């Protein structure tokens, strides 16, 4: 899918603000590139959208106005399948089908007063085993299934909101384990589906650990994955517009130690959601992704450099040298543990292979003459072992799909072990450098104290 957005400056957006406009999200099919398969219509530009990982007919997006939007593709996909069957049965018919599929209208859109105050920067679906209630508590196993119904959005207003696509059932009181509305028996009769507002079920204000002010979030990474020692289902990683890496937990305890059931404590004691912060880049992060082979390794990309972080460490494991041009994105290879691709403003893609070298890219691919704005691998059920597809979108609105060469998609022998050894060496190097820094500072303090006594 491709979200079509206007490349307007701030002054141009001020002039057109308040005017009625229509934006589109175009859905393409890999088997047919002549025309798009579906067009999703939105009253505002969508700068981020994602399919439901368990229910592909559900698509949610984040609008420029700060609202969340949802489309249901079930009827549109059924109509497309019907036309395909009719086309196969009518062998004598014309092969050129010029009929235009009507745009898919939104099935739900959040209320603007309870949405973000700034543009939705990123969103992420919660895992099926991490569905929550209005207090942020993870639901009991008897209330969970294999589907994901909730997603989180972030924006520059310092808020992280969690939405539930079953908001109509929640408002009617059919899901009391998530939220039990007041006088639910009366509301079941009075409330109509059309008039039910879509409100977030949980709101998290992300503030700085030290200092005043909220964090302007721009990238989100959820579903980090739990271990035997740590339950990370409620943990998220996010980046701020100031270049900070933020690790937060929406189940964090309140400062005063109050319980969730105490209404007075809920008002007076605000939970400390942010667990730790670290300086990542000097500019906003443009890409944040978890390694598919090493769940504790995180890639963050900014304007000039990219860093690789390990969960639990306060400094990055690997810092790349400065690039010759601006970086616009980055992705781990879904088949090679030691390879990642970095997109640039000149339309090229740098291939970093840590089994080959770590001080410069192993190869540079020329993809488009324009600035690359997005890059994504084809993963999941449509992906095949014989072919690896890479989709790239540029600033002029073109979508390019490339067949990744075999040498860049097929892993080398023992590549995962080689890459793991590389990360371990970098971790040891960082530990040694930190110890030497402490030793130098202690030595400097002793010399300064000795010099003061001599005087």
Q: How far apart are CA 95 and CA 84, in angstroms?
A: 11
Q: Provide the CB-side half-sphere exposure for 416 (13 A, CA).
A: 7
Beta strand 159-164 pairing with 150-155:
antiparallel
The pLDDT assigned to 275 comes to 87
d(CA 375, CA 382): 17
- Average pLDDT of the residues of the chain: 84
Q: Which run of H or E residues covers position 322?
A: none
Comparing 53-57, 189-193, 327-331, 333-337, the range with the smallest average pLDDT is 189-193
Give the confidence band of 91 by pLDDT, cuts at 50, 70, 90: low
265: phi then psi, degrees, rounded to nearest 5: -65, -35
Residue 52 pLDDT > 60: yes
Question: Is the pLDDT assigned to residue 382 strictly greater than 70?
Answer: no
Is-contact 328 309, C-beta < 8 A? Answer: no
pLDDT category of residue 343 using cuts at 50, 70 and 90: very high
Instruction: Write the pLDDT tens digit of every residue in 94-141.
Output: 555 556 678 899 999 999 899 999 999 999 999 998 899 998 888 998
Q: How many CB atoms lie within 10 A of CB 413?
A: 7
pTM attached to this predicted model: 0.85
Q: Indicate the pLDDT class of residue 264, thresholds 50, 70 and 90.
A: very low
Q: Which two tokens stand for residue 396?
A: 């002029």
In this structure, what DSSP letter does residue 99 have? P
Give percent of the chain above pLDDT 70: 83
pLDDT at 272: 83
pLDDT at 327 over 80: yes
Q: What pLDDT is attached to residue 320? A: 92
Residue 201 CA to residue 443 CA, distance in Å, equals: 54
Q: Render pLDDT for 211-234 as a digit per residue (tens, 0 to 9).
A: 677 889 999 998 887 655 777 888
What pLDDT was estimated at residue 300?
95
pLDDT value of residue 293: 92
DSSP state of 2: E
Tell me the three state secondary structure of residue 16. Answer: helix
């Amino acid at each position: 899918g491709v979200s079509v957005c206007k490349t307007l400056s701030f002054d141009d957006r001020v002039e057109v603000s308040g005017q009625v406009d229509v934006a589109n999200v175009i859905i393409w099919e890999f088997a047919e590139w002549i025309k798009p398969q579906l067009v999703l219509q939105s009253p505002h530009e969508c700068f981020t959208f994602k399919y439901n990982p368990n229910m592909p007919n559900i698509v949610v997006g984040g609008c420029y106005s700060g609202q969340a939007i949802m489309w249901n593709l079930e009827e549109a996909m059924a109509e497309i399948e019907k036309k395909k069957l009719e086309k196969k049965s009518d062998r004598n018919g014309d092969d050129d089908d010029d009929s235009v599929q009507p745009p898919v209208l939104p099935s739900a859109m959040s209320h603007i007063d309870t949405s973000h105050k700034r543009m939705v920067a990123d969103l992420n679906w919660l895992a099926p085993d991490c569905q929550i209630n209005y207090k942020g508590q993870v639901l009991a196993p008897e209330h969970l299934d294999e589907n994901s119904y909730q997603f989180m959005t972030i924006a520059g207003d310092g808020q992280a909101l969690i939405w539930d696509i079953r908001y109509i059932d929640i408002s009617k009181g059919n899901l009391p384990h998530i939220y039990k509305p007041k006088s639910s028996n009366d509301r079941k009769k009075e409330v109509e589906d059309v008039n039910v507002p879509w409100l977030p079920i949980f709101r998290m204000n992300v503030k700085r650990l030290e200092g005043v002010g909220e964090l302007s979030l721009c990238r989100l990474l959820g579903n980090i994955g739990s271990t035997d020692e740590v339950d990370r289902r409620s943990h998220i990683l996010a980046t701020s517009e100031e270049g900070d890496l933020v690790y937060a937990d929406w189940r964090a305890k309140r400062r005063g130690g109050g319980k969730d059931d105490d209404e007075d404590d809920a008002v007076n004691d605000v939970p400390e959601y942010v667990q730790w912060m670290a300086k990542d880049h000097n500019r906003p992060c443009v890409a944040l992704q978890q390694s598919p082979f090493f769940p504790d390794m995180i890639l963050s990309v900014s304007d000039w450099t990219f860093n690789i972080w390990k969960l639990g460490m306060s400094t990055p494991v690997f810092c790349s040298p400065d690039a010759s041009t601006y970086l616009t994105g980055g992705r781990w290879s879904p088949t090679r543990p030691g390879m990642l691709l970095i997109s640039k403003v000149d339309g090229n893609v740098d291939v970093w292979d840590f089994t080959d070298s770590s001080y410069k890219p192993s190869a540079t691919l020329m993809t488009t003459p324009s600035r690359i704005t997005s890059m994504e691998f084809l993963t999941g059920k449509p992906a095949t072992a014989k072919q690896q597809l890479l989709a790239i979108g540029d600033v002029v609105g073109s979508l390019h799909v490339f067949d990744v060469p075999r040498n860049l998609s097929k892993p080398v022998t023992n590549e995962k072990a080689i890459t793991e050894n590389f990360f371990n060496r970098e971790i040891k190097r960082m530990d040694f450098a930190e110890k030497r820094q402490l030793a130098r500072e202690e030595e400097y303090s002793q010399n300064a104290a000795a010099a003061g006594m001599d005087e």
